[in-house]
Amino acid sequence: MRTNNKAKDLKLGDKVTTDYFPDKSDVVRKITSINYDNTCGSGVRIVANGGEVCKLCGHIPSGVTPAIDGAWFIPVKNSPQL
C-alpha cells in the first residue's frame, strides 16, 4: 500500500490516485473536499470524485471515495486522464 506523508499539502482540484479501492488504484481522481481533522493520522480527511473516463483507454470511472485519511491519496502529475 502506498501512502502520502505530505497529505496536508494537497489542495482542492488536485489529481490523485488511491489504494483505498485496491482494484481501482489506477483511477485518477480529483479532490473535491478537504477537512482538517486531528483524529486521523495525516491531520486531514479528503473526498475525491470517481474519476472520469480515460481519454486514452476508455476506462470507466469508479465510485466517489468516502471522507478518508489524506494519507491514502497519492498526487498525480501530468495525467492525460483529467
pTM: predicted TM-score of the whole model, two decimal places? 0.84
- CA dihedral (72, 74, 80, 82) in degrees, to 10, reads 40
pLDDT value for 79 = 57
Q: Is the pLDDT of residue 61 over 90?
A: no
77 pLDDT above the threshold of 60: yes
Domain 7-75 matching CATH 2.115.10: the answer reads: no
The C-alpha atoms of residue 65 and residue 68 are separated, in whole angstroms, by 7
Q: Is the dihedral of CA 10, 11, 16, 19 positive or negative?
A: positive
Beta-bridge mates of residue 33: 47
pLDDT tens by residue, 27-59: 889 999 999 999 999 999 999 999 888 778 877
Domain boundaries defined on the chain: 7-75
